[in-house]
Structure formats: structure tokens, C-alpha cells
Copies of this chain bind each other. A is one copy, B any other.
């Protein structure tokens, strides 16, 4: 349920509504949607929708029927724009995000950053904490990697994005990077999602290897319910029977998400295909299907 407030609402009326909601035990979330003040009620109290309809200052009481409430298009009709270091994701321009799998050294990171910037990238992505399937593989430069990312930003002006694999990394992330990524393997690591919900950085939430669109949106809802609505959804290929590509890029998720959610959408054609020369055609297809980045 959501309350659309009157455009001429007085401060007293506003306070009155908030007091009522609080007394009723509701959990709420306030946003501006297409120029209107909206209060979303994610946990109901005992009062019914019609009880609020008569309150002074309330223009409309509307249902939100989806399980993913705060991230739904029903709750917020206007598309969300997420700003990462002055770059707007979800706006008029297609955003290119590029970088190496792992940050290996300052030299490697800086060289790649300058190259990708020259070819149009406006955000730099590289891993400092690497979720490797083998415990014996290189696990990333960790804090050292984050410092390198901060230096890349300083020197190139590119905003930097990196993966967070544990709530314990949150303070360092807040300090060094512009946005955090939650990887496919952690899409339903709910403790990590709760942590991301309390952060003051945008979150790029990758789709799990075999996650349905509905489960993915519920994971985004975890972050939003924690108070952080700067969320970007990243499709990176789903697991199917086809062995030729590493994963199967599900581009139909783009128009499906557009209808279900107000969050911006980024496509990762590199992880999805796993083959260098398939990246360009799939990136073009992603843009044609309506991706934001």
C-alpha cells in the first residue's frame, strides 16, 4: 500500500499522517515520484487502506500488489537514476563500465583504466576481493586493491566499482570506492544484502547463476528495505545446458525488468559469454533491448 500525498499538504497534516502511521506500527519508506510525495507502507499495521483515505493531506491510497514493494514500478512509476561519481546510470546516456577481472597492481590497473577511458568507459570496475571457486586461486589484493582503485579515480577521474564479499569490508568500501558490487554467487547472501542496505554507496546487484527475475528483485528489496535505494541490477548470464557460451545472456530480462521495477539495468556481456569476440555484438544487443549501461 502507498499513500500519495496532496501537493498542497501542510506541515501539520504531514506530521499528523506520520504520527498515525507510527502509532499503528507501520514500517514506511518516503520517496518523491514524478513530482509527488509518496509514503510506502512495507509493513502494515491494523488500520485499513480506507482509514487513511479520509485523512487530510492524503490524495490517494493505492495498493502495491507485488512481493518486491520498494523496488517495484507500482510503488514508484518514475525510473530511478543512480549517480556514481557524477555519472548517472539510468539517464539519457548509455554508460560504459569496464576494467580487469582483478586488480593485480597499480601499474596494471592504471594502464587498463587509461585505455578503457579512451574508448568511452566512464566507470572503472576491478576486483580487490575475488570470490574464487578454488581456495588455492589468487584471492585478490584486498585492502591494497582498494587503495589502487582510489588512486585510479584520483588520476583518471573515473568512478570506481568493486565487489564486496563480506560485511566486514563495508568500512573500507565506504572509504575507497564509489559503488559496491554484490556478485552472482552472493545474490542470496542475505547478511551481505542487509549490510549493503545500510551503506551510503550505490550497489550493483548481479543476478544469481540460476536466479529467477522474481528472486533477484527480492534481493534488491532487501537492500532497499535497509534504506539504500541506489541499486543497479546487473544481468550477467544464467546457467543453462548450452556449453558453447559460459552462460546464456538473458536479454529478455531487460524489458521484463523495465515493467516490474524502477531500477536501472546494466548488462555484463563479458561474464555472460566468456568469449572475447562475442562481447561486442551482445553489448550492442543489450543497448538495443534498452539497457542503461
A190 to B43, CA, bound (A): 33
Q: Check: A252 CB closer than 8 A to any chain B CB.
A: yes
Closest chain B residue to A241 by CB distance? B239
A69 to B134, CA, bound (A): 10
Using Cβ atoms and an 8 Å threshold, which residues of chain B touch A190?
131-132, 135, 165, 185
Q: Check: A180 CB closer than 8 A to any chain B CB.
A: no
Which residues on A are within 8 Å of B, measured CB to CB? 42-43, 67, 69, 131-136, 165-168, 185-186, 188-194, 208-210, 212-215, 218-219, 221-222, 225-226, 238-245, 248-252, 254-256, 259, 272-273, 275, 277-278, 281-282, 284-290
Picked from B225, B240, B284, B288, the residue with its CB within 8 Å of the CB of A241 is B240
**B240 pairs with A252, CB closer than 8 A:** no
**A241 pairs with B272, CB closer than 8 A:** no
Using Cβ atoms and an 8 Å threshold, which residues of chain B touch A166?
167, 191
State the number of copies, please.
4
Using Cβ atoms and an 8 Å threshold, which residues of chain B touch A194?
135
Known: A133-B215, A239-B241. A251 touches B285 (CB 8 A): yes
Using Cβ atoms and an 8 Å threshold, which residues of chain B touch A275?
256
Picked from B165, B212, B218, B244, the residue with its CB within 8 Å of the CB of A212 is B244
A190 to B238, CA, bound (A): 20
**A252 pairs with B252, CB closer than 8 A:** no
Using Cβ atoms and an 8 Å threshold, which residues of chain B touch A285?
251, 254, 285-286, 288-289
Closest chain B residue to A133 by CB distance? B218
